[in-house]
Amino acid sequence: MKTQIRLTSNVSDGIGNGPESGAIDLIYGFLLTEFEQDIYNYISINQIGDDLQEFVMKEPGNKIHVNIRYPTHKNFDAKTTDEKNLIKLDIIHSALLRVANEYEKLDEEKLDIIKERIIINNFSFDFVCKIYYYKKSESLTAKIIVHPEVDKFNYYCLIEEDEKVKCKVKIYNGLTDMHYYNELFSDIKWKSKDEITIKGKSKEVEITVWINKCEAIFCRPGGRTYPVQTCCEWRYSRFCV
């Protein structure tokens, strides 16, 4: 994922600036890469009212900023999750079409396909963050998967052999921010064909996955072993929601 999307609003009853937009931001980031539309490093999209001017502006660092006027929806917070998602999707898509028209680098047809795919998938995706190969047999792989939802990101460890699923286990659910990927899961080590350990930049949490059982995920603070759920509820609640 090369392009980071950031959707915000300064409109009363607008789409808001909370973490709820994290899922649609992440979905677009991955799909822009998949469809070779990751031209820009960062695209900021701001929903504005009549008091501000619309514009599309390129900034240093291959960044784009878009001010877009989009009708205010009264009682936006009272709408269903599906209704909110569709509004946010329409704002992002409209803004990206303006970027495509202004700088002629993004492909409008592919942007339409991306929007349609998001709708068909009902905003539900599993994205591969990274793949780790077992050195003695590259047909055996461990993948860190992120499944974004409006209120949380779910992370899984997916084990495949000869492209067939051997095991898929949840290793974390937390804030709608990919910061925690590097913090907790950016490093996987194969201990054996049946065991891997997952760590990150933070040394507070280590997770072990026993592949044959596909159920024994453990957190090891201070050398002691706990089920991940117990660990999160007890000492490491800051990593969980």
> At which of 82, 97, 120 does a domain end?
120
Distance CA(204)–CA(15), nearest Å, equals 36
- Statement to judge: residues 207 and 133 lie in one domain: yes
Go through 14-40 and write b for each residue having 16 or more CB atoms within 10 A of its CB, e for each that does not. Answer: bbbeebbbbbbbbbbbbbbeebebbbb
pLDDT at 133 over 70: yes
Count of the separate structural domains present in the chain: 2
- Statement to judge: residues 112 and 153 lie in one domain: no
> At which of 73, 98, 120 does a domain end?
120
Contacts of 96 (CB under 8 A, 6+ apart): 43, 106, 111
pLDDT in tens, 40-82: 999 999 999 888 899 999 999 999 999 999 887 778 888 899 9
pLDDT at position 218 is: 67
Q: Which residue has the tokens 């780790």?
A: 132
pTM: 0.86
Q: Which domain holds residue 220?
A: 127-239
The closest of 231, 239, 232 to 202, measured between CA atoms, is: 239
- Statement to judge: residues 52 and 143 lie in one domain: no
- Statement to judge: residues 34 and 97 lie in one domain: yes
- Statement to judge: residues 87 and 104 lie in one domain: yes
- Statement to judge: residues 96 and 161 lie in one domain: no
> At which of 67, 99, 120 does a domain end?
120
- Statement to judge: residues 114 and 141 lie in one domain: no
Residue 163, beta-bridge partner list: none
Q: Provide the token pair at 116.
A: 């349609």
